[in-house]
Structure 1
């Protein structure tokens, strides 16, 4: 067991955590939220979007962002080129498809929704706010979920494609 393999294992765990979170959100939270009336949907999303910003989330979300390029570099340095290419693809896909979509798609929508005042809004303003938020947010979420699952698959393949003496 080398430090390189331990780092790759940590990378795999962090990647699995974020892919799992996004997948679980897609097949449970979003479905449940879609059933709520407009005012309850907005209130719930405002709370969720604030509460997701916690150490456990950031550990997996930012941890993956940090560990993927480190693992990729270590595989390159070691000369394990098949694993390097898999991890490089995973890194690029995560930076663009998961992190990038979140930061430039979902987060701006979250911030705009957070500023929306339910207390002073009319029923029509609430309905419009939901419509402007929900469809686009879910579209971005689907992209980042698929990207994260693909990243996880690439990392798993990288882990199991290593020469037998280097398997974690």
Structure 2
């Protein structure tokens, strides 16, 4: 197996892992969290947002953001190139970009919110301002992750070595 093929396989696996995270969140976690009271919901999201900042998450999230463009560069001039390039663009804009520009600031805002020191009305307002918008953005990340996965799998199919 060529090193370029190994690179493409690792890139595909990381893309699928991060896509699976967003997909699982969209079709299960947010549904379960939605059943919680306002206070429980905000506390749960604070804990989740803190715990996801770990090496395993960063390896797949940042690894995909690095390996997709690297793979596109390595495969330039080959049939798989266009698929990898489109996968990289979809990921960098619709997953990485949305996360950094939108979800992270919302997570930081929620992290600073003092639940025990807030009124019931302030807690309700925070949830209303956070939940629907955050879930919408996560769905965007999910869709773009799926697009990235499909494109990188197409690259694997068009790569003669895989």
Shorter-chain TM-score range = over 0.9
Q: Following the alignment from structure 2 to structure 1, what is the Cα–Cα distance between the partners of residues 28 and 135?
A: 13
Q: How do residues 22-101 of structure 1 correspond to structure 2 at under 5 angstroms?
A: 22-76=22-76, 79-80=77-78, 82-101=79-98
- Whole-Å Cα distance in 2 between the matches of residues 91 and 112 of structure 1? 29
Q: Give the C-alpha shift of residue 7 in structure 1.
A: 0.3
Partner of 1:19: 19
Aligned length: 162
Cα shift at 1:28: 1.1
TM-score, normalised relative to structure 2:
0.98
Q: Distance in 1 between matches of 2:159 and 2:96?
A: 27
CA RMSD of aligned residues (A): 0.7
Alignment partners' CA distance in 1, 2:8 and 2:70:
9
Secondary structure at the counterpart of residue 118 of structure 1 = coil
TM-score normalised over the length of structure 1: 0.95
Structure 2 unaligned residues grouped into runs of 5+: none
Name structure 1 gaps, 5 residues minimum: none
Q: How far did residue 148 of structure 1 move? A: 0.4
Secondary structure, aligned partner of 2:48 = helix
What is aligned with 1:160? 157
Deviations 1:93-142, CA, capped at 9 Å, x for gaps: 11100000000111000000000001110100000000000011011100
Structure-2 separation of matches of 1:83 and 1:33: 40
Aligned match of 2:112: 115
Deviation at 1:161, TM superposition (A): 1.5
> Out of 132, 136, 140, which is 1:139 matched to?
136
Which of structure 1's runs of 4+ aligned residues deviate more than 6 A?
none
* Secondary structure class of the residue paired with 2:80: helix
Distance, in Å, in 1 between the alignment partners of 2:24 and 2:45 is 16
